[in-house]
């Protein structure tokens, strides 16, 4: 936007940010010319309403005259634990481009001033590949792992792809020829890694602009994998109402309130001069009221003068206003086909075994339950920050000495439950004969590392965060989970495998597993 002063441009660029790294460089560039910024997003799950947070900042950058590049990081999506299958990379990138263009249009951002780039357009080039090798010669495993700690899932023995991720994101800054990278504060370790690593290759250090993390509707981070925590951009008005009804919005509590955060970081940044957040309510509840700044709204809610139901109803109105143009655009047959192709509904049994989160665990401590003589208390390393406590009824079948330091297969996404007063956070999978006189844990290949996810041959869906006890998913599935004639663990003749293709076995043949 021409005619803005340096101070006005900087104010637009930095408002609502949590942190800026390299502010001196930002000042120096703005006094000479407009800033070049890029924002990248890995093309994994469907974008949701939280994407309006970076979109509203991109609107600010454009108002400030910045040159903005949006990177659809398709290769990064594959490297992050193959969240986007290779066969769908191109389609997911097309979907992201289509939906994000519609989002920007819905908030009045002119698309002709934006550049859209796909990661694989340049990340597979000879020059980029050589820089990846150069970077790998100066970056330690420790530094790469630390850099990705907030972004890439951490396990004791990480895949090489997860270690590459931060380095590739750092190199993107050079190959996109930008002054600054914009992202969430959860990217901070990658940003500081880039500041340290790029100069080692002879490239300049960039500026980093960080948004705060906006809570999801249930509190905590809004995630594509948690259905109730996010509103999809193509959700119907009925879906929006249903999800907002469940949203965390305790009277007077402004902490971790996803509704208030959305109003602060999205709606107030989009209001034009003279506009405000308009709450419509019955006269007996205070009547209609307009809030011209966020602080007044927060104070009103904190003092219990604004009821959660009125806040939810108003946010629902504004979200639907944002989503209506996107929904209408995706009524076209072309975009409908793209959506279905990029996110195909898997041909699945209603309760397929890929809904189970089965991982390799290492028993690091065994003790007897103080109030139940037939139960062990097992401390099991699952490649997480802390060991899990799991209660197991193996006392009569396996000695504590044999269990100690043993590798076991653990069902990790059962709802935790108390067993004689102690919370159990999973189940060790065991085989047993017909009369249950022999019970023993499945035999896990010695090469498997704690935290390794196990999967059934032919099934590649994402496990549920937590199995719903009311749906009895596990109870339905274990009927077909057993050992075959060779003592190999199978579900309907599909082998249970490590990522290296090794099978889990048992001495017991044709026996159930549970």
Rounded to two decimals, the pTM is: 0.66
What are the residues whose beta carbons fall under 8 Å from the beta carbon of 40, sequence distance 6 or more? Answer: 70, 71, 72, 73, 76, 119, 169, 172, 181, 183
User: 99-113, 119-133, 195-209 — which is least confidently predicted?
Assistant: 99-113
What pLDDT score was predicted for residue 102?
93
Alpha-carbon distance of 397 to 506, in angstroms, equals 15
Alpha-carbon distance of 398 to 440, in angstroms, equals 7
Under DSSP, the state recorded for 250 is: -
- Computed on alpha carbons and rounded to an integer, the radius of gyration of the chain in Å comes to 26
With cut-offs at 50, 70 and 90, classify the pLDDT of residue 228.
low
Three-state secondary structure string covering 482-498 = EECCCCEEEECCEEEEC
What are the residues whose beta carbons fall under 8 Å from the beta carbon of 134, sequence distance 6 or more? Answer: 201
Name which of 423, 323, 514 is nearest 506 in CA terms: 514
Alpha-carbon distance of 318 to 124, in angstroms, equals 41
How do residues 316-358 score in pLDDT, each as one tens digit? 999 999 999 999 999 888 998 999 999 887 554 456 898 999 9
415: pLDDT strictly greater than 80: yes
C-alpha distances in angstroms, 157 versus 95, 381, 408, 449? 33, 12, 16, 6
Q: Rounding to the nearest 10 degrees, give the CA dihedral for residues 260, 266, 269, 275.
A: -70
In which residue are the tokens 């999973």 written?
A: 426
What pLDDT score was predicted for residue 174?
97
How do residues 444-456 score in pLDDT, each as one tens digit? 999 899 999 999 9
Name which of 189, 255, 252 is nearest 220 in CA terms: 255
Residues in the chain: 514
How do residues 365-400 score in pLDDT, each as one tens digit? 999 999 999 999 999 999 877 899 999 999 999 999
Under DSSP, the state recorded for 353 is: G
Provide DSSP, 132-194: HHHHHTT--HHHHHHHTTTTSPP-SS--HHHHHHHHHHHHHHHHTT-SEEEEEGGGHHHHHHH
With cut-offs at 50, 70 and 90, classify the pLDDT of residue 468.
confident
In which residue are the tokens 């159930």 written?
A: 512
49-61 average pLDDT score: 92
With cut-offs at 50, 70 and 90, classify the pLDDT of residue 153.
low
Q: Which residue would you say has higher pLDDT here, 221 or 166?
A: 166
Q: Is 247 helix (H, G, I), strand (E, B) or coil?
A: coil
119-123 average pLDDT score: 94
224: pLDDT strictly greater than 80: no
With cut-offs at 50, 70 and 90, classify the pLDDT of residue 248.
confident
Portion of the chain with pLDDT greater than 70, in percent:
94
What pLDDT score was predicted for residue 273?
84
What are the residues whose beta carbons fall under 8 Å from the beta carbon of 112, sequence distance 6 or more? Answer: none
226: pLDDT strictly greater than 70: no
C-alpha distances in angstroms, 472 versus 297, 332, 353, 430, 482? 43, 39, 13, 19, 18
How do residues 3-13 score in pLDDT, each as one tens digit? 899 999 999 99
482-489 average pLDDT score: 92
Q: Count the Cβ atoms, other than its own, within 10 Å of residue 52.
A: 26
443: pLDDT strictly greater than 50: yes
Alpha-carbon distance of 99 to 83, in angstroms, equals 19
1: pLDDT strictly greater than 50: no
What are the residues whose beta carbons fall under 8 Å from the beta carbon of 461, sequence distance 6 or more? Answer: 346, 348, 352, 354, 355
Alpha-carbon distance of 451 to 19, in angstroms, equals 33
How do residues 77-102 score in pLDDT, each as one tens digit? 888 766 678 888 899 999 999 999 99
Under DSSP, the state recorded for 48 is: B
Alpha-carbon distance of 120 to 89, in angstroms, equals 9
Alpha-carbon distance of 270 to 158, in angstroms, equals 41
Element (H, E) at 29: helix 23-30
408-434 average pLDDT score: 93
48-65 average pLDDT score: 92
Provide DSSP, 418-487: EETTEEE--EE-EEE-TTSS-EEEPBPPTTPPTTPEEEETT--PPPPSS--GGGTHHHHHGGGEEE-TTS
Alpha-carbon distance of 427 to 320, in angstroms, equals 43
Cα four-point dihedral sign 328, 330, 332, 336: negative
With cut-offs at 50, 70 and 90, classify the pLDDT of residue 2.
low
Mean pLDDT of the chain: 90
175-191 average pLDDT score: 96
208-228 average pLDDT score: 68
Three-state secondary structure string covering 88-117 = HHHHHHHHHHHHHHHHHHHCCCCHHHEEEE
Q: For 213-298, list the strands marked E by DSSP.
A: 277-279, 289-291
In which residue are the tokens 């340096």 written?
A: 6
User: 31-40, 87-96, 115-124, 363-372 — which is least confidently predicted?
Assistant: 87-96
69-76 average pLDDT score: 93
């Amino acid at each position: 936007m021409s005619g803005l002063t340096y101070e006005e441009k900087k104010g637009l660029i930095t408002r609502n940010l949590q942190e800026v790294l390299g502010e001196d460089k930002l000042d120096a560039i703005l006094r000479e010319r407009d800033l070049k910024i890029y924002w990248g997003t890995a093309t994994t799950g469907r974008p949701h309403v939280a994407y309006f947070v970076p979109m509203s900042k991109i609107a600010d950058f454009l108002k400030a005259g910045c040159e903005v590049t949006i990177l659809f990081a398709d290769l990064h999506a594959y490297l992050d634990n193959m969240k986007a299958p290779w066969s769908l990379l191109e389609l997911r990138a097309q979907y992201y481009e289509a939906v994000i263009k519609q989002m920007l249009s819905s908030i009045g951002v002119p698309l002709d001033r934006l550049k859209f780039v796909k990661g694989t357009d340049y990340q597979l080039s000879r020059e980029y590949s050589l820089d990846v090798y150069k970077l790998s010669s100066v970056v330690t495993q420790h530094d790469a792992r630390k850099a990705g700690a907030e972004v890439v899932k951490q396990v004791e023995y990480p895949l090489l792809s997860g270690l590459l991720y931060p380095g590739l994101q750092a190199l993107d800054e050079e190959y996109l020829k930008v002054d600054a990278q914009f992202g969430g504060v959860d990217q901070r370790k990658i940003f500081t890694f880039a500041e340290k690593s790029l100069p080692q290759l002879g490239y300049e250090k960039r500026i980093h602009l960080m948004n705060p993390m906006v809570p999801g509707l249930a509190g905590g981070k809004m995630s594509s994998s948690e259905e109730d925590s996010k509103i999809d951009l193509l959700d119907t008005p009925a879906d929006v109402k249903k999800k907002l009804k469940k949203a965390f919005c305790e009277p007077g509590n402004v902490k971790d309130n996803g509704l208030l955060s959305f109003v602060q970081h999205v709606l107030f940044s989009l209001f034009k001069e003279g506009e405000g957040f308009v709450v419509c309510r019955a006269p007996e509840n205070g009547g209609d009221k307009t809030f011209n700044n966020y602080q007044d709204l927060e104070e009103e809610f904190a003092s219990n003068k604004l009821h959660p139901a009125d806040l939810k109803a108003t946010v629902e109105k504004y979200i639907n206003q944002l989503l209506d143009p996107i929904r209408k655009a995706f009524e076209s047959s072309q975009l409908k086909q793209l959506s279905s192709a990029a996110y195909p509904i898997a041909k699945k049994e209603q309760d397929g075994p890929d809904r189970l989160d089965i991982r390799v665990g290492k028993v690091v401590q065994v003790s007897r339950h103080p109030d139940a003589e037939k139960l062990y208390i097992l401390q099991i390393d699952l490649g997480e920050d802390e060991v899990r406590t799991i209660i197991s009824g193996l006392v009569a079948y396996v000695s504590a000495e044999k269990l100690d330091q043993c590798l076991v297969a653990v069902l990790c996404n059962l709802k935790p439950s108390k067993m004689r007063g102690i919370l159990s956070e999973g189940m060790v999978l065991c085989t047993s004969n017909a009369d249950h006189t022999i019970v023993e844990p499945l035999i896990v290949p010695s090469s498997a590392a704690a935290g390794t996810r196990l999967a059934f041959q032919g099934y590649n869906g994402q496990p549920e965060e937590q199995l719903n006890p009311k749906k009895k998913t596990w109870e339905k599935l274990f009927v077909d989970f057993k050992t075959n004639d060779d003592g190999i663990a199978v579900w309907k003749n599909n082998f249970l495998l490590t990522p290296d293709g090794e099978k889990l076995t048992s001495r017991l043949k044709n026996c159930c597993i549970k």
